[in-house]
Structure 1
Amino acid sequence: MSGRVSGKIVGKGGVIAASVMVGIGNNVIRVVLVVLFLAGSCVDPYRPPEISAPNKFLVVDGFLNGLGISTVRLSRTQNLTENKKPPVETRAIVQVEDEKGTGHTFVDQGDGTYTLEQGRLQMGQTYRLKIQTAAGRNYASDYVTIKRTPPIDDLSWKAREDGVQFYVSTHDETNNTRYYRWEYEETWEYYSAYYSQFKYLKTQFLYREDNINHCWRTDKSNSVSVATSDKLSQDVIARFPLTFVSASASNRLKVRYSILVKQYALTAEAFDYWQNLKKNTEMLGSLFDPQPFQAAGNIHGITDPDEPVVGYLNSHSMEEKRVFIESSELPSWRIPNGYEACEADTYLLKPPPTEVSAVAMGEAGFIPIDAVLNSIGNVHGYRMASPACVDCRVVGTNVKPSFW
């Protein structure tokens, strides 16, 4: 997780809440840390000290993986008024140890990410995480037992009126899982508005070797998806509605789309944490929605027991499943390509004094698309447009994913 700190007070009587903006991986969500309810009737907007407080709470995002690589990300909370990326916590010592004190040290990747190679941890065993920052402050998690995640039985989808609804199904024949969480990654293929045959380099227009018209983009989920079978006689999750992809809000479904779903088994305590986090981030909109409250994690300050720590150490294996959707499988929707506002203009190499030259536009960052010939077949200009319309790498990559 990574984050920002904020505060909110409504009225001379109302809700007072200090909160942090935190991220799961690269996705930012809000977690409320402190809440106080006061009596009263007047409404007075007020910017409390929490908005500009110098607090930089530690944020811990990660899980212990019994069947793969374990990853922990460390960062610091950030005020909502700050526009830069939340600071990562580097040069920390991150260790995991069992109840007998046998430990392993994570490898510092240099970007706030710490990893432990596969095979160091065992399914069903109990561990805790220990962190010592570069400043010498110590933190530790509660002991957690690594749970085995059952496989995903089915990842299905159904075309609705204006988009695709995805469902996930799973079960545990031993009835020992009961609590589940899902994350997903979306990848889709797309094309920019124009195919560029040329590139501009040091006052020259040269033939382009690479294709910057055809790209792929991957986004990670930014919502909390949890479910439980605790009230059921059988440990079965049938067609849980995971996410809806609109056919009109983006170009995701225009060419080819894929979703990779990751499933995790949770303990009852971890489920409560994620459920509370969901209430704090996705269900606050009216007086009738759940009120914000502290989503207490299982990581604590050792140097200062009163210091808040944001995050929850999960412990489980991971199961995943991927599906693809071809545009030919979908109804005849009018799916946007994302470049509807793009326009290209022609710029001459030797324009009249009142016009801008192709070289000047190249220096300004515009990308040549194709050459414009005069009446005798010589190049006397280029059709050009902004990078946002020509270079698909502005929002994605032209490197084809290995799974595509």
Structure 2
Amino acid sequence: MKRATLFSIVFAVFFLHGCIEEIDFETETFESALVVEATITNKTKLQTITLSRTFQFEEDGPSAETNATVLVSDSMGNEYSFEETDVPGVYQSTTTFSAQLDRDYELSIITANGRTYGSNPTALESTTQIDDLYAERETNESGELGVSIFVDSNNSTEEGTYYRFEYEETYKIVSQYFTDKDLEVVTYSPPEVKLVPKNREEFTCYNTVPSTAILLANTNTLSEDRLSRFPVRFLSRENPKISTRYSLLVKQLVISRDAYVFYETLKNFSDSGSLFSQVQPGFISGNLFSTTNENENVIGFFEVAAVSSKRIFFNYSDYFTPQDGSLPLFVEDCDLKRPRLQSLVNLIGSGGAKFVAEPSEPGNEEIGFGPYLIAPKPCVDCTVFGTNVVPDFWEE
């Protein structure tokens, strides 16, 4: 949703990066608009709604809309209240609930300054399941060798269906060097270090990243309501995320035609390649509105969707061999060095390098003559790229 509010900023950044002379921009006119990210699903859970505000070009990012009153109601008279979590602007339902097929849902918001907002009635569309999620070795249109991940889905109804896909990728990170010891600075002057036992896991880590792409599909033009080989993700063989083990969680949301049109418009605009593109809608209208001021813009879409999810795991070796090329690495330059003691103390103290081993051979001009072999921190400590806590869902 935020991409709808930031399109001019994104395009401006892309444009400015290509300029030779740096130009300072300031926003001359600005409307602080409420941004709503709200998807209620048919899964029984604590539902989540996020509220924020648009921000000006010269600001760092959006500000959270805090202390709001958030309520979802249905046409059967049920009401579900939301409370702000520890994360500013993120609201969670006070009870678990799920969207049902036989009713409409509406969202209402009262902000801390007393302004009120609402949504058009929105209903849950037909439910469907992901039949299969699978990966294949493939060369893409740009000639890159990699892995493509596809979804197959089938809806039992005869009507065309609109889909939106989200994914969350998790990948394993293995440091290039393993050691169970660390160097610790004793004093800077005179320079002195000592070896100590490593006090945390730094060899194997994991990182989880949500998708930012807008992935849409529909079956209106097909002879049956079936998606076959819908491409969700392509990963180049040279992408370090797949260098060891990789997992992708795909969520398929069955959405309304109005929601599809909203996201399609947003996607088409977001994919535009120039700040001065001829396609500049300025404001992308959703199903949200201000009940305080009919002229006030509200950005976002209140979505009620049927969701299905599936997860896949694979190893680099499942699709590639040494003949395909060297293993992709998170850090290319991991050469070992043996700096003199003063330089060693400075590097260890600043956190720029980590201990690898005690040398077993004489030093030389290339690596140095210092007392220990060291490497850049990212080559030894995987927590630079992720967490050393194994995800609950992880499978080897």
TM more than 0.5: yes
Whether 1:143 aligns to 2:121 is yes
Contiguous gaps of at least 5 residues in structure 1: 7-17, 23-28, 31-46
User: Aligned match of 1:390 in 373, 380, 388?
Assistant: 380
State how far apart, in whole Å, the 2-side matches of 1:77 and 1:105 are.
25
Q: Cα distance 1:224–1:58, how it changes in 2: closer, same or farther (>3 A)? A: same
Normalising by structure 1, what TM-score?
0.79
Alignment-derived partner of residue 369 in structure 1: 355
Alignment-derived partner of residue 229 in structure 2: 239
Q: Contact 2:117/2:290 (CA < 8 Å) preserved in 1? A: yes
Amino acid at match of 1:400: V
Alignment-derived partner of residue 367 in structure 2: none
Whether 1:80 aligns to 2:57 is yes
Q: Contact 2:160/2:220 (CA < 8 Å) preserved in 1? A: no
Compare relative contact order (CA 8 Å, sep 6+) and give the higher one, 1 or 2. Answer: 2
User: Aligned match of 1:93 in 63, 69, 73?
Assistant: 69
Alignment length, in residue pairs?
Answer: 359
Cα shift at 1:105:
0.6
Q: Contact 1:372/1:381 (CA < 8 Å) preserved in 2? A: yes
Amino acid at match of 1:236: R
Amino acid at match of 2:378: A
Could you give the per-residue CA deviations for residues 247-291 of structure 1, whole angstroms, max 9, x where no partner exists?
A: 12x21221111111100001111111111111111244699x982
State how far apart, in whole Å, the 1-side matches of 2:185 and 2:121 are.
60
Amino acid at match of 2:138: R
Q: Cα distance 1:141–1:4, how it changes in 2: closer, same or farther (>3 A)? A: closer
SS in 1 for 2:314: strand
Q: Cα distance 1:210–1:156, how it changes in 2: closer, same or farther (>3 A)? A: same
Whether 1:338 aligns to 2:338 is no
SS in 2 for 1:328: helix
Q: Cα distance 1:343–1:2, how it changes in 2: closer, same or farther (>3 A)? A: farther
Could you give the per-residue CA deviations for residues 296-338 of structure 1, whole angstroms, max 9, x where no partner exists?
A: 1111112222111111111023100111112221122334112
Q: Cα distance 1:165–1:223, how it changes in 2: closer, same or farther (>3 A)? A: same
**Matches of residues 38-57 of structure 1 in structure 2 within 5 Å?**
51=27, 53-57=29-33
Whether 1:170 aligns to 2:153 is yes
- Identity value in percent: 29
Kindly report the root-mean-square deviation, in angstroms, between the aligned alpha carbons of the 2 structures.
Answer: 3.1
Could you give the per-residue CA deviations for residues 96-144 of structure 1, whole angstroms, max 9, x where no partner exists?
A: 1123654221121132211224236433321111111122221111111
User: Aligned match of 1:324 in 309, 313, 317?
Assistant: 313
Q: Contact 2:147/2:236 (CA < 8 Å) preserved in 1? A: yes
State how far apart, in whole Å, the 2-side matches of 1:389 and 1:280 are.
40
Q: Contact 1:2/1:21 (CA < 8 Å) preserved in 2? A: no
Amino acid at match of 2:166: E
Q: Cα distance 1:150–1:362, how it changes in 2: closer, same or farther (>3 A)? A: same
State how far apart, in whole Å, the 2-side matches of 1:202 and 1:219 are.
35
Contiguous gaps of at least 5 residues in structure 2: 15-22, 140-144, 187-193, 362-369
SS in 2 for 1:280: helix
Whether 1:291 aligns to 2:287 is no
State how far apart, in whole Å, the 1-side matches of 2:113 and 2:183 are.
48
Q: Which of structure 1's runs of 4+ aligned residues deviate more than 6 A?
A: 47-50
Could you give the per-residue CA deviations for residues 193-229 of structure 1, whole angstroms, max 9, x where no partner exists?
A: 3324333556354210322121112222221111111
The structure with the greater share of residues assigned to strand is 1
User: Aligned match of 1:194 in 161, 177, 193?
Assistant: 177
